Structure 1
Amino acid sequence: MLIQVNYPDNRYDYVKEFILDVLIEKHKIKRFRRSSGWVTLGVNPVRAIRRSCSGSGRMREDVR
């Protein structure tokens, strides 16, 4: 799915979800469009960044 984003220089673009995560994390966009409307970074709540993980999904005992 493509998501519309607005950059700080007021350019608009459509990006894939995994790119949106990177742009949010690196503060490269001002806002992005959800089905409910525009989300402004630093003003509106933003979802947690999803990270893919490898392995069984369990943390090793010695890492906890």
Structure 2
Amino acid sequence: MAKALLGHLGGPDPRLLSEMRRLQQRIRDLEEECLRLQAANEELAALRAKDDEIVTISVSEAEPVLS
């Protein structure tokens, strides 16, 4: 009965195993890409926060307008 559930007597299908390995590698690649993009996003957010502080400081230290 168990052999019937597997589909044949020769064990797992090599094509299926190959496809599973390929998909697992693709998942690992996508997870690494996601982590890389998250790190880049955090870096950009930190730079933007620094730029926002500079703009805020430069506006608050501006000289009064001549009338």
Structure whose residues are more often helix by fraction: 2
Return the TM-score normalized by structure 1.
0.17
Return the TM-score normalized by structure 2.
0.17
Structure whose residues are more often strand by fraction: 1
Q: Which has the larger radius of gyration?
A: 2
